[in-house]
Chain A
């Protein structure tokens, strides 16, 4: 990191002063709290067998399934969640507060309960699922699609809340300016509002993707656990934990490194 004008940078820093300890101490404690478990994971990692384990086809298959389903889930969340966020931020309709509260329900309920709820609705005998089965011969549970659905369910609130916040921060006068230039509401949204909230959408999508990647409870309940089809990395970690805790540590670490790499890579682009 080279600054073109280091002297000036230093001068600025001097003026802003040191962060007050009342903020610094809790902040450092917070970092420690988040980083120490990670450190524990690193310390107990059997590095010697690491190479062999991560090239295990079963691990690679679970990793690929995790990355692809989390990405698909994020795409679905974007398609459904951004318009929903717009509705919550911009449209005035009765029951908006209620809808906003409902959006956060998946954050509150335990994912396993979410999985059961999904089974009750989309399962073979579920409210909608039984019709899907009868009319289209379509059964969702135990399919990769079910993994994506479970992830969408738990991850969508992260996107909606982020994007709604970003939309609320947008100066509505820009939208008015676009309207005076002849833009209808769709054009205003697509060409003015959306580009303005893109950083918020990006942050929401990153959170959403990370949550989808780590999703366990709803997935194992709704989609089951079968290598290659529905066994994502978190499920593989859990299963490994039953018999071979060392393997579980390695798998966790792989998941962690890959997700950090992806998120760090994306972050760089947005800022």
Chain B
């Protein structure tokens, strides 16, 4: 809250080169250690994407001040908030399940924060009404949370968090409480609302789709560490860990490049397994390609695809209107083919098959 010379630091204007959020969060709890560094610009939405237990919710709670940091700092708009108690942090939180106060109307839920900040009842309610109106919820203002749909409840929760005029907005699994049928609409709408927020926003999710749609940038958290950071497109195209690759549905291999030849790292070094890529690289690289880029043949195909491997079918599952074929052999691989192709090839577990991938489809990037 105060600078070293004791003065209250003025909040830097947006556009200054101080990040809206600059945090290093270190939390040690038993065997588990969370250690992440986050930087979020004004108006940017960062998604923390990771499996359950990776520590992303802990990170969010630490940012909100709900759990004390073992070490590190939290600066919002250049102001140190590391030791600021929860109720005085310039933070708004949209909780998982939204946690709307059931004994209050939607309007009073939203007016709660402004009231706590010392605004008069009338002013607080006016601000709440305005926020609800902006979210097309005027008709629901008098409703108790129990009468709201999932999407409406989410927007009330967002309005409630925004009503305290936070500089940092935190969203904990904002889509988890919704049923699948409403998700698409609600997600699009939330994306739209988040665009209007001019502070920093951090979103926690285990669903890559939420992260891709809602966030400007994705940080993948595994076992308390950020393993990859980038735009949704980057992360989707160039995953850096098997977990991310699985999330975004890519085949991923780590290897060593010599020109356009990548030798995949394997335990059994005597039988090298090579992937041909389009652009030449040198040294440690990652190679990723989508399952739909894998073509399957019962017999060795004519012509000469650069990458052709003989593999064995391990399993088959429906995947949208496609069929995903899991292959094993020197390296495991997934391939998406049409149900018609599946029938034609007569693929059953244990059947041998030829798999081909065009070099141009294989994304290669430094590992």
- Could you jot down 21 A-B contacts, CB within 8 Å? A171-B99, A174-B99, A176-B99, A177-B95, A180-B65, A180-B66, A180-B87, A180-B89, A180-B91, A180-B92, A180-B161, A181-B112, A181-B160, A181-B161, A181-B163, A182-B117, A183-B116, A184-B87, A187-B116, A191-B112, A195-B103
Which A residues lie within 8 Å of B104 (CB)? 195
Query: Cβ of B116: which chain A residues have Cβ within 8 Å of it?
Result: 178, 181-184, 187
Q: Is B102 located at the chain interface by the 8 A CB criterion?
A: yes
Within the complex, which residue of A173, A184, A187, A191 is in contact with B99, where a contact is CB–CB below 8 Å?
Answer: A173
A232 to chain B, nearest CB (A): 36
Mask of A162-197 contacts with B, CB within 8 angstroms, 1/0: 000000000101101111111110010001100110
Residue B88 at the chain A interface, CB threshold 8 Å: yes
Sample of 4 further A-B pairs with CB below 8 A, known A173-B99, A180-B65, A195-B104: A176-B66, A178-B101, A180-B91, A181-B161
Closest Cβ–Cβ distance, residue B118 to chain A (whole Å): 9
Q: Is the CB of A182 within 8 A of B95?
A: no
A180 to chain B: which residues have CB within 8 Å? 64-66, 86-87, 89, 91-93, 161
| Residues A196 and B103 in contact, CB atoms below 8 Å apart | yes
Contact between chains at A181 and B164 (CB < 8 Å): yes
Compute how far the CA of A191 lies from the CA of B112 in the bound complex, rounded to whole angstroms: 9
The CA-CA distance from A217 to B340 in the complex, in Å, is 88
Q: Is the CB of A183 within 8 A of B66?
A: no
Name the distance in Å between B20's Cβ and chain A's nearest Cβ.
18
Which positions in B face A, CB cutoff 8 Å? Answer: 64-66, 86-89, 91-93, 95, 99, 101-104, 112-113, 116-117, 160-161, 163-164
Q: Who on chain B is nearest to A180 by CB? A: B93
Q: A181 to nearest B CB, angstroms?
A: 4
- Chain B: CB-nearest residue to A191: B112
Residues of chain B within 8 A of A181, CB atoms compared = 87, 92, 112-113, 116, 160-161, 163-164
**Closest A-B pairs by Cβ, 10 of them:** A182-B116, A181-B113, A195-B103, A177-B99, A179-B86, A180-B93, A183-B116, A182-B87, A179-B87, A182-B117
Nearest CB of chain A from residue B309's CB, rounded to whole Å: 51
A16 to chain B minimum Cβ distance, whole angstroms, is 24
List the B side residues contacting A173 at CB < 8 Å: 95, 99
Residues of B within 8 A of A192 (CB): 101
Chain B residues contacting A191 (CB-CB under 8 Å) are 112
In the docked arrangement, what's the CA distance between A93 and B117, Å? 30
State whether B101 touches A182 (Cβ < 8 A).
Answer: no
How far does the alpha carbon of A180 sit from the alpha carbon of B103 in the complex, in Å? Answer: 18
